[in-house]
Amino acid sequence: MKATNPKLIELWKKVRQARKFLNYTQEELAKETWIDRSYISTIEKGVTNPSYLKIKKLEEVLWDKF
Q: What's the pTM value of the predicted model, to 2 decimals?
A: 0.82
Amino acid identity, position 28: E
Amino acid identity, position 51: S
Q: What's the structural domain count of the chain?
A: 1
Check residue 8 and give its pLDDT: 84
In a domain, 42, yes or no: yes
Check residue 29 and give its pLDDT: 96
Check residue 37 and give its pLDDT: 97
By CB atoms closer than 10 A (0-12, 13-18, 19+), residue 59 is middle
C-alpha–C-alpha distance, residues 50 and 48, integer Å? 6
- The neighbour count for residue 4, using CB atoms within 10 Å, is 8
29 in Cβ contact with 40 (< 8 Å) = yes
In a domain, 1, yes or no: no
pLDDT tens digits for range 10-51: 888 899 999 999 999 999 999 999 999 999 999 998 888 889
Check residue 3 and give its pLDDT: 64
Range of the domain at 30: 6-65
At 55, which CATH number? 1.10.260.40
Q: Binning pLDDT at 50, 70 and 90, where does residue 1 land?
A: low
In a domain, 11, yes or no: yes
